[in-house]
C-alpha cells in the first residue's frame, strides 16, 4: 500500500514545497508538466518562436527564484501564467510594436451595449477549409487582437482557465475579464466573417 501511494503523482503544492527545500527534481517535474502550455501561451501572445523560447526560460527561472512568493491561494499554474504573461508583454514593449500592451488599461464593466453588427454564419466553415487552413486563419485573427484582449481570450478559450483563474492570473477583476473576453470574441467573429466573405464562400451568399 505504501508503495502504491508513493507511486501516485504528487500535486503541485507538494512539489513546490519540496522544491523550496532544494529538491531540484521536484521543480523539474513542475517544468515538465507546464512547459508546453507556457510556450504555447507565450507564442500566441508574442507571435514569435524566439520570444516564446525566451519567455519560457525566463518564466520558469523567475518562478524558481520566487517560490517563496507562491502562497498557495491560487493554483501553481495560474501563478506561473501570471509570470509568463508579464514576460510576454515585456517582449512586446521592447519591440515597440504595440502601445496598448499594458494590462492596467481601464477596462469596461461589461454593462455597456455592444453596438456592432455581426454576420451570422450560415453553414460550417469546416466544410470549406481543411483543419490546417482554419487553424492558420484563426491564429492570424487572434494575433491581430489587441494584447489586452488577446491574452484574456487565450487564457479563457484556448487554455480553458476559469474566469476567476484568468482574473487571478492577470490581476484583473472578474467583470474586467468578462468584458475583455466578450470584446475579443466579438472582434474575432467580425474579423473571421470578413475573411470568409472576402473569399467568396457560398456560406455567405445570402448576406
Kindly report, residue by residue over 12-46, the tens digit of the pLDDT.
999 999 999 999 999 999 999 999 999 999 998 99
* pTM of the predicted model over 0.75: no
Closest CA to 140 of 59, 202, 84, 194: 194
DSSP string, 115-153: --------S-GGGTS-HHHHHHHHHHHHHTS-HHHHHHH
**Per residue in 173-207, pLDDT tens?**
999 999 999 999 999 888 888 877 765 544 333 33
Selection from 118, 130, 98 nearest residue 191 by Cα: 118
Q: Which residue has the cell 468584458?
A: 179
Q: Which domains does the chain have, with CATH numbers?
A: 2-95 (1.10.1740.10), 125-204 (1.10.10.10)
Which grid coordinates are listed for 150? Answer: 488577446
Say which residue, 6 or 72, is predicted with more confidence: 72
User: For residue range 60-106, what is the model confidence (pLDDT) as tens digits?
Assistant: 999 999 998 888 778 899 999 999 999 998 998 887 654 544 444 44
Q: Over 70: is that where the pLDDT of 137 sits?
A: yes
Amino acid at each position: 500500500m505504501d508503495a502504491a501511494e508513493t507511486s501516485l503523482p504528487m500535486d503541485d503544492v507538494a512539489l513546490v514545497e519540496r522544491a523550496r527545500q532544494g529538491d531540484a527534481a521536484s521543480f523539474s517535474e513542475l517544468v515538465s508538466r507546464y512547459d508546453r502550455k507556457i510556450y504555447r501561451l507565450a507564442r500566441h501572445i508574442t507571435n514569435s518562436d524566439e520570444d516564446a523560447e525566451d519567455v519560457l526560460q525566463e518564466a520558469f527561472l523567475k518562478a524558481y527564484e520566487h517560490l517563496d512568493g507562491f502562497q498557495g491561494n491560487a493554483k501553481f499554474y495560474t501563478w506561473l501564467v501570471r509570470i509568463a504573461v508579464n514576460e510576454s508583454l515585456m517582449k512586446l514593449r521592447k519591440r515597440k510594436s504595440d502601445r496598448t500592451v499594458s494590462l492596467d488599461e481601464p477596462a469596461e464593466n461589461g454593462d455597456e451595449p455592444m453596438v456592432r453588427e455581426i454576420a451570422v454564419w450560415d453553414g460550417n466553415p469546416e466544410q470549406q477549409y481543411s483543419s490546417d487552413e482554419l487553424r492558420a486563419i484563426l491564429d492570424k485573427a487572434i494575433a491581430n487582437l489587441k494584447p489586452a484582449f488577446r491574452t484574456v481570450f487565450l487564457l479563457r478559450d484556448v487554455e480553458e482557465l476559469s474566469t476567476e483563474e484568468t482574473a487571478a492570473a492577470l490581476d484583473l477583476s472578474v467583470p474586467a475579464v468578462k468584458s475583455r473576453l466578450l470584446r475579443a470574441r466579438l472582434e474575432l467573429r467580425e474579423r473571421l466573417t470578413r475573411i470568409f466573405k472576402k473569399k467568396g464562400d457560398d456560406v455567405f451568399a445570402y448576406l
